[in-house]
Structure 1
Amino acid sequence: MRLAILGTRGIPARYGGFETFAEELALRLVARGTEVTVYCEANGTDQPREYRGIRLVHIPATACGPLTTVLFDLRCLWHARNSYDVVYMLGYGAAPFCLIPQVWGTDVWLNVDGIEWARGKWNSAAKLYFKMMEWLSTWVPDRIIADADGIRAHLESRHRLSSPCSVIPYGAPVAVVPPDASLLRKWNLEPGGYYLVVARIEPENHVREIIEGYRAHETQIPLVVVGNHMVTTDYARKLRPLAGSRVRLVGGVYDREELRALRYHARACFHGHSVGGTNPSLLEALGCGSLIIAHDNIFNREVVGDIGFYFSSSSTIPALLKGVESLTAPEKAALAGKARARIREKYDWGAIAEQYLDLIEMHCGERRGDVLLSGAIPAEKKAGISAGLGRRNLT
């Protein structure tokens, strides 16, 4: 079985959730005998052909403003059109071009990720484009993959799904050994002595509401905001004046160990994301045993369940902070244990890889069925086999 993963900037993961997902999944599939290729952006310097048994293909990404990613995905789809059994596209920005490999007889799976058109950073034209891409993603690929039940429910509420949809979430590690607390010295922080936000500075992540709610609460425990607050957007520009001795905007943190230490040792982690499905940052916080104060929406409740605190607006945050600060040490330890157990039970990378292996086995079975159907088989028997193995009837 030859699988190509497209739609990432490449591995080893240095950037975001898709890259981490591609690396974690590919490593486990390769270990189980699947031939996996990950498509990467060509950076002109370090372009290895293999990473820990995973084949790497580097494709140039020409800078074309907002079309850069779409054109890069198009190039990748063209390159991968006839070399694999399945092309797995992460994200639906180039959904119509997923037809390209299909013309050459290659199946395409598409991970729809979140509700891209709902992000506040897009103008009206971009929102319309992404709404069209979401619609196309429900019938162009041979299989849709959603990372949460909430995403599948969203698609079903807006579209008639012509392609089968499987729900397979992302995964996260569990912090078994406490991260080195000395890493916090970089920001003059102490374990348990700060609240944390890790997010892109965008409206749908409710960073402003979190800061305003925190400021309305009388506490000297600082709020640390990790994210590039110097981006040139109106939202970030209006956010910067809110910084002070209590609210610390520290910029982006891209070192995995530093992020793990920040999450693990925080008094609690805020999570304001609202337009995604299973958010990797939220999973990683749970894997650290963090107390979670999350925006109240179906995606966050699906991940966190009843072990978190939820805010609907900035005005509800002060009461939640009082509740967090009133927890006893045994209560906090119990919640931390439940958070890690939730990751082990629902978001373990090994179990997630097994779900993909099940899909791969199903695909191979379908292919064998197609070969049988193409042979000299009586028409009535063909019909029976087709009913049992038809691709569109499998979910």
Structure 2
Amino acid sequence: MKLKIAIIGTRGIPNHYGGFEQATEFLSEGLMKRGHEVSVYNSHNHPYQKSTWNGVHIIHCYDPEYIIKTPGQFIYDYNCIRDARKRNFDVVLFMGYTSSSIWGKIFPNNCAIISNMDGLEWKRSKYSKPVQYYLKYAEYLAVKFSQYYIADSEVIKDYLDNHYKIQCKYIPYGADLYNNCKEDALDNYSLTKWNYFLLMARMEPENNIETVLEGFHKSNSGKKFMVIGNIKERYGQYIAHKYTRDDRIKFLGGVFDQSIVHAIRTNAHLYFHGHSVGGTNPSLLEAMASKVLIAAHENDFNKSVLHNDAFYFSDFQDAQYLINSVERNDTEINMINNNYKKIQEQFSWEKVIDSYHEFICACYHQFKKNL
């Protein structure tokens, strides 16, 4: 059956921004190839201005975020929802809820509404208490005004099912498998294989960047430590300044050439993943797909993906111990291979898109049955 599907909640495709945009890029094209008519809502000032992209319809709506910052996100989502009400979509899929669920009373009422419930945004320490309170309320509204739900983490699914007494569908995020490696990219950074540690993340407290770097700073390692991420914001500046005298630590800023990112990632001696809040984190899956040895912050989100195929840390002493002691023997090679196999069998985009396709069709049929 051919369905008319709309995707709302991202800045648009092709991806120029982040995880939800990347997921929407893969998902929209994949659903179109499976026979559906797919429309994605884009910000009016998105770099891509055409009306179609790889067979996917693009609907541009006015987005004042570039003028008024965060409040503009709410206006943009309102404009998208108002437009969707005028079209005969069979299914509307919301990617996230932080600035859309407040408009729940005007969601289209003639189609199935599915919400991807994102991470537990209200737990993020970067937000003030009033913002955290609002995000928890927005989560409640998303549950109230949607009919069907997706969680990209089993931990989040369990929380939503138990807290709101709903039946949430677990569909993970996806990742591409990396095979080719542009090893000469290391030369630009004076790096050699397995002679450096790596951390790649947004400069935010809940990503435990200071914890990891403090562990390295106190270690006796002769290796370098490479940090990829924007250090222009306040917290990034603080971190860079704190460790400016440790000449082993190198801040590369944002690196956007994915072939270079892959080369730096796959050749690292140990990759630190410090994320402590959220669902199935895209950067973690990409690290697994790059065949790099992983040390992850010890929490349920990371352990539900990595299981026993990673080292774990909770504080800077743990990080320091791993930096001083981790070697590359058969056990470590097996951990790397097991994670790569997980990407092949559980987290490939084809499998993720198949799961979305099956769930969306099932939701539509259930919606029609309930009319």
Check whether TM > 0.5.
Answer: yes
> Cα distance, 1:9 vs. partner?
1.6
In structure 2, the partner of 1:327 is: 328
Contact conserved, 1:96 with 1:140, CA < 8 A, in 2? no
Q: Bigger CA drift: 360-369 or 167-176?
A: 360-369
Amino acid at match of 2:328: L
CA distance in structure 1 between the partners assigned to 2:46 and 2:18 by the alignment:
21
Where does residue 344 of structure 1 map in the other structure?
A: 344
Structure-1 separation of matches of 2:71 and 2:261: 31
Kindly tell me: are residues 199 and 151 of structure 1, through their superposed partners in 2, closer, same or farther at Cα, counting changes over 3 Å?
same
Is residue 101 from structure 1 mapped to residue 104 from structure 2 by the alignment?
no
For 2:370 and 2:15, locate their aligned partners in 1 and report how far apart those are by CA, in whole Å: 37
Decide whether the 8 Å contact of 1:5 with 1:87 is kept in 2.
Answer: yes
Distance in 1, matches of 2:282 and 2:169, equals: 19
Out of 68, 72, 77, the position equivalent to 1:64 is: 68
Call closer, same or farther: CA 1:197–1:44 in 2, change over 3 Å.
closer
Paired residue for 2:153? 148
1:197-346 to 2 correspondences below 5 Å: 197-231=199-233, 233=234, 235-241=235-241, 242-243=243-244, 244-324=246-326, 326-328=327-329, 330-346=330-346
1:186-227 Cα shifts (integer Å, max 9, x gaps): 322222221111111001111111100111221121111111
1:365 maps onto 2:365 in alignment: yes
DSSP-derived class of the 1:310 partner: strand
Aligned to 1:377: none
Measured after TM superposition, the shift of residue 44 of structure 1 is 6.9
Report how far residue 276 of structure 1 moved: 0.5
Partner in structure 2 of residue 353 of structure 1:
353
Structure 2 distance, partners of 1:367, 1:318, is 53
Matched, 1:86 2:88: no
CA apart distance, 1:184: 2.2
Displacement of 1:313: 0.8
Letter in 2 for 1:322: N
Q: Which whole-Å CA distance do the structure 1 matches of 2:105 and 2:348 have between them?
A: 32
| Cα shift readout 1:219-267 (whole Å, capped 9, x = no counterpart) | 1211111111111x2x333212213421111111122222222211111
SS for the counterpart of 1:56 is strand
Partner of 2:178: 175
Report sequence identity in percent.
33
- The CA distance in 2 between the partners of 1:313 and 1:156, in whole Å, is 31
| Larger gyration radius, structure 1 or structure 2 | 1
Distance 2:204 2:297 in 1: 14
SS at match of 1:139: helix
Q: Give the Cα–Cα distance (whole angstroms) in 2 for the partners of residues 310 and 31 of structure 1.
A: 40
User: How big is each residue's C-alpha offset from its partner over 1:305-352, in whole Å with a ceiling of 9 and x where there is no partner?
Assistant: 11001101111112222342x222x44432221111011111011111
Cα distance in 1 for residues equivalent to 2:228 and 2:332? 23
The 2-side partners of 1:87 and 1:99 are apart by 15
Residue 130 of structure 1 corresponds to 135
Q: How many correspondences in the alignment? A: 363
Distance 1:126 1:346 in 2: 34
Q: Give 2:38's aligned residue.
A: 36
Cα distance in structure 2, aligned partners of 1:298 and 1:70: 31
Q: CA deviation at 1:86?
A: 1.2
CA positional deviation for 1:297: 0.5
Shift of 1:98: 3.3
Distance 1:44 1:332 in 2: 43
The residue number in structure 2 matching 1:76 is 80
- Extract unaligned runs of 5+ from structure 1: 372-395
- Report SS of the residue matched to 1:327: coil
Q: Contact conserved, 2:195 with 2:268, CA < 8 A, in 1? A: yes
Deviations 1:72-103 (A, max 9, x none): 12211111124211111111112131332333
Contact 2:63–2:76 (8 Å) recurs in 1: yes
Separation of aligned partners in 2, 1:82 and 1:191: 56
CA distance in 2, matches of 1:14, 1:45: 8
TM-score (norm 2): 0.93
Pair 1:147–1:31, CA change in 2 (3 A): same
Letter in 2 for 1:276: G
CA distance in 1, matches of 2:356, 2:340: 23
Deviation at 1:295, TM superposition (A): 0.4
Deviation at 1:52, TM superposition (A): 0.8
Give me the TM-score of the superposition, normalised by structure 1: 0.87
Shift of 1:129: 0.8
Q: Is the 8 A contact 1:7 1:89 kept in 2?
A: yes
Contact 2:95–2:117 (Cα < 8 Å) also in 1: yes
